[in-house]
Amino acid sequence: MRAWPRSIRGRMLALSVVAGMVALVLAAVATTGILTRVVTDGIDRRLDAQIALLASSVTADGRFDAARLAAVRPALEAGPGWDWRIAGPGGVAASDTFLLAPDEGPVRHHDRPRTRRGRGPDGAPLHAREVVLATGGGRVVLSAAAPRGIVERPIRDAVTPLLTLLAVLIALLAVAAVVQVFYGLRPLRAIERAIVAVRDGRADAVPEDQPAELRPLAEELNALVRANGAALAAARQSAANLAHALKTPVAALALELRDDPPRAHLVDRIDATLRHHLARARDRVVGRRPDTDIAEAAGALAATLRKLSGGRVAIDTAIAPGLHAAIEPGDFDELLGNLLDNAVRHAAGRVDVRGQAIAGGVRLCVEDDGPGIAPDARERALAPGVRLDERGEGHGFGLAIVRELSELYGGRLELATGAAGGLLVTVILPRG
């Protein structure tokens, strides 16, 4: 299973979603870091001010002035979790919920506050600042702490609406990306429709009035169309020249064999084939769109094959009236004629011909109740120019010709086993 979309639209949208998520994560990390630093600096300044008040009550010999401490105590206890402590030679003075010593290394002298982390008696995390003063009586440790929630709460209160706003902005950008992808890829869809029009014969070239990025593509497509048209025209002209060259000898041969009906009939078939290919070459030169009423053509062919089989095989046709395929009538007769001839020769007693419209095309099915073709022999039966009859296998006739004709008009040929066990041939042709 592919995780990466195969379409350009899907890839562009996936990139937009990934970029939006990365931007949201980076914004959350950066915003949280900045706000944490700002809020922490503010708390640290407040705790440093409290330490300065504590230091004002410490005497030169390291003891503390109880009266001075009592005077500043209201400013030290701002609320639950705001703790302070003085520890020195004169003993320890602390708030009612005194600060536990943080779990760090040995206490050293530092006359500037530093950040410490610890926990109160209830286990709640504390954010603390500490100073170690050197006095005549020894070192004095001054500590002031605030609940960790004082730092986290304003960050959370600020980050939550900010991230919500960023998420909304990213959603709006995603919608904008969808709109951008939709309108940005419209020229590609227009080129696709133009190519379909060229293929169907409704246009001669792809419009070259395209955005700058697609103009070279349109020009190359038109160059390819012109090159293929030139090659096809040359091939048709060669076929027409060959047919013209054969017309005179065939006419002479018809005169020679006019008293021999069986052979004269074969010459007439050759002459009809030559005329058909000449007509098709002329039609294609003037660009006429091919069209055949397959119900009418199939009915006529089925009637002919019933007579030729002498009533041995019942041929049933079920094709909706007015169903047209984009194929020359002569080519359709050749295509279905080969299929019916093959089916009649191998059927035990019945051949079914069904036709129906499908999305964008026509499905034609010919099924017999004969021995069919083994799955491992079907590819060989469809090989160009190969007739299984000639190899002695007796599984079919003209399937390669049918495939070539169907592919010539943009269709395809499929072989399968029918409900009666015989061969089921399905031909898909473009809609007329």
Tell me whether residue 217 is in a domain: no
- pLDDT reported for residue 426: 92
Q: What one-letter code names the amino acid at 222?
A: N
Is residue 289 very low, low, confident or very high in pLDDT (cuts 50, 70, 90)? low
Mean pLDDT of 193-204: 80
Tell me whether residue 178 is in a domain: no
Taking only the tens place, the pLDDT of each residue in 113-157 is 888 777 766 677 778 888 888 888 888 888 888 888 777 787 777
Domain hosting residue 31, numbered range: 8-153
Is residue 287 very low, low, confident or very high in pLDDT (cuts 50, 70, 90)? very low
Same domain, 279 and 310: no
Kindly list the distances between the CA atom of residue 34 and the CA atoms of 20, 31, 41, 147, 395, in Å, as whole numbers in the listed order: 21, 5, 11, 20, 81
Higher pLDDT residue, 112 or 312?
312
Is residue 308 very low, low, confident or very high in pLDDT (cuts 50, 70, 90)? confident
Of 55-59, 70-74, 102-106, 362-366, highest mean pLDDT: 362-366
- pLDDT reported for residue 354: 92
Tell me whether residue 53 is in a domain: yes
Same domain, 347 and 375: yes
Cα R_g (the chain), whole angstroms: 46
Taking only the tens place, the pLDDT of each residue in 54-92 is 888 888 888 888 788 888 888 777 777 788 888 888 788
* Distance, CA of 11 to CA of 18 (rounded, Å): 10
Tell me whether residue 194 is in a domain: no
Nearest Cα to 119, choosing from 111, 128, 110?
128
Q: Which residue, 219, 253, 285, sits at the end of a domain?
A: 285
Q: What's the first-to-final CA gap in the chain, in angstroms? A: 39
Yes or no: say if 149 and 82 are a contact pair by the CB < 8 Å rule: no
Residue 106 DSSP one-character state: -
- pLDDT reported for residue 366: 92
Q: What's the number of CA atoms in the CB half-sphere (13 Å) around residue 179?
A: 6
Same domain, 49 and 115: yes
* Distance, CA of 309 to CA of 425 (rounded, Å): 20
Is residue 111 very low, low, confident or very high in pLDDT (cuts 50, 70, 90)? low
Domain of 399, CATH number, reads 3.30.565.10
Residue 389 backbone phi and psi in degrees, to 5:
-60, -45
Same domain, 281 and 358: no
Is residue 262 very low, low, confident or very high in pLDDT (cuts 50, 70, 90)? confident
Higher pLDDT residue, 216 or 7?
216
* Distance, CA of 170 to CA of 24 (rounded, Å): 8
- Residue for token pair 């020679």: 256
Number of separate domains in the chain: 3
* Distance, CA of 81 to CA of 331 (rounded, Å): 96
Higher pLDDT residue, 48 or 276?
48
Provide the whole-model pTM.
0.41
Mean pLDDT of 398-404: 80
Same domain, 235 and 319: no
Tell me whether residue 353 is in a domain: yes
* Distance, CA of 399 to CA of 372 (rounded, Å): 13
* Distance, CA of 97 to CA of 76 (rounded, Å): 12
* Distance, CA of 328 to CA of 269 (rounded, Å): 18
Q: Which residue, 153, 172, 187, sits at the end of a domain?
A: 153
Same domain, 135 and 231: no
* Strand 138-147 relative to strand 83-88, pairing: antiparallel
Taking only the tens place, the pLDDT of each residue in 51-60 is 888 888 888 8
> What does the CA dihedral 387, 390, 396, 399 come to, rounded to 10 degrees?
10
* Distance, CA of 70 to CA of 64 (rounded, Å): 11
Angle at CA of residue 77, ends 82 and 106, nearest 5°: 50
Look at residue 393 and tell me whether its pLDDT is greater than 60. no
Same domain, 20 and 132: yes
Taking only the tens place, the pLDDT of each residue in 25-39 is 888 788 888 888 888
- pLDDT reported for residue 120: 66
- pLDDT reported for residue 281: 60
Q: Which residue, 109, 124, 153, sits at the end of a domain?
A: 153
The continuous run of DSSP H or E covering 84 comes out as: strand 83-88
Same domain, 21 and 113: yes
| Mean pLDDT computed over every residue of the chain | 78
Tell me whether residue 189 is in a domain: no
Yes or no: say if 143 and 128 are a contact pair by the CB < 8 Å rule: yes
Same domain, 237 and 348: no
* Distance, CA of 69 to CA of 93 (rounded, Å): 9
Mean pLDDT of 213-232: 83
Mean pLDDT of 394-404: 67
Same domain, 296 and 426: yes
Buried b (16+ CB within 10 A) or exposed e, 167-189: eeebeeeeeebeeebeeeeebbe
Helix then strand count (H, E) for the chain reads: 10, 12
371 by Cβ neighbours in 10 Å (0-12 / 13-18 / 19+) ranks as: middle
Same domain, 280 and 297: no
- Reported for 304-307, long-range contacts at CB under 8 A and 24+ positions apart, including other chains, are 305/340, 305/341, 305/344, 305/351
Yes or no: say if 175 and 114 are a contact pair by the CB < 8 Å rule: no
* Distance, CA of 148 to CA of 124 (rounded, Å): 8
Tell me whether residue 358 is in a domain: yes
Domain of 32, CATH number, reads 3.30.450
Tell me whether residue 187 is in a domain: no
Q: Which two tokens stand for residue 216?
A: 């070279």
Look at residue 363 and tell me whether its pLDDT is greater than 60. yes
- pLDDT reported for residue 321: 85
Look at residue 48 and tell me whether its pLDDT is greater than 70. yes
Beta bridge partners of 351: 315, 368
The continuous run of DSSP H or E covering 317 comes out as: strand 314-319
Same domain, 35 and 113: yes
